Amino acid sequence: MAGYGAASGSPVNPKTENWVIHSNSMTRRQEMKRFIAIGLFFIMLGCTALANADTLTLNGTVSVSGGTGYFIYESGANITWYYVVPASSINGTLQSNTWANAGTWASGLTVGSTNAGSWSLPGTTQVLGTYPSSNVTSVSQLGQLGNLYYSVLGNTAGSFTNSGAFGTALTGILSGSVWTNVLSTTYTGYALMFSFNDGGNQELGNIASDTRGEIAVHTGDYGPNGQVVPIPAAILLFGSGLAGVGFVRRVRGRGRG
């Protein structure tokens, strides 16, 4: 039996009323599917951004004997750089040492609640030169410091203009070099250094007498208080998805109004 509409008192066909309810329900389900699809789209964008990111983050500093130690995390390589700026440094240059002493310093570090032997001088290869050149056809041939100089900081050979989170610790040694952990296989008693002036493995230094800047590297994300525990990426991506859905709903609401 037909009912009556509340406003007009006209008969309402139950079948028609059920169809309207069903149609509204379908519309809500379709909108929900669209919102879910939009949310997934934003999450995918977030995943892509995280996958492509290679950034430097200053995780903090710590007071050490004679100066200040700095922790800088490089996300793309998942490594932490650590260096010391002496208190007596005028322009923020790195602590320097002979290769032998620099290696001992790095391997003996226990900063950031790490274990002795877990830090080292940066790795590289035996290839000398800047990128690109006849000797160097890939940035990877210049090791961890080469990747930092070219890929992360975006510098070019012979033009060191960006030091990122390192600040004056690197710009202060434009004419200097930093030790790597690689001994020369050609010349006994010499080790490879990376030049931030030229952007390459340019020099061989006498491991006993030459002094250069020292930087240590450790796998993982570390700061003064130990390993940094980041907010899970899934939570960040879920939040970005919800934000995207909310934004679209507001835009659609304004359009209907």
Q: How far apart, in whole angstroms, are the C-alpha atoms of residue 84 and residue 105?
A: 11
Helices (H), the chain: 14-52, 99-107, 143-146, 168-171, 233-256
Structure tokens at 247: 């934004």
Match 């030459």 to its residue by tokens.
210
Q: Which amino acid is at 177?
A: S
* Cα separation values, 75 from 24, 46, 58, 144, 228, Å: 48, 15, 11, 13, 12
The pLDDT value recorded for residue 79 is 98
Each residue's pLDDT tens digit in the chain (257 positions)? 555 454 555 565 565 555 555 565 656 666 666 656 555 555 555 444 444 467 999 999 999 998 999 999 999 999 999 999 998 876 678 889 999 999 999 999 999 999 999 999 999 999 999 999 999 999 999 999 999 999 999 999 999 999 999 988 887 766 679 999 999 999 999 999 999 989 999 878 999 999 999 999 999 999 999 999 765 554 555 555 556 556 656 655 665 55
Q: How many helices (H) and strands (E) does the chain have?
A: 5, 14
Look at residues 154, 135, 150, 149 and name the one whose alpha carbon lies nearest to residue 177.
Answer: 149
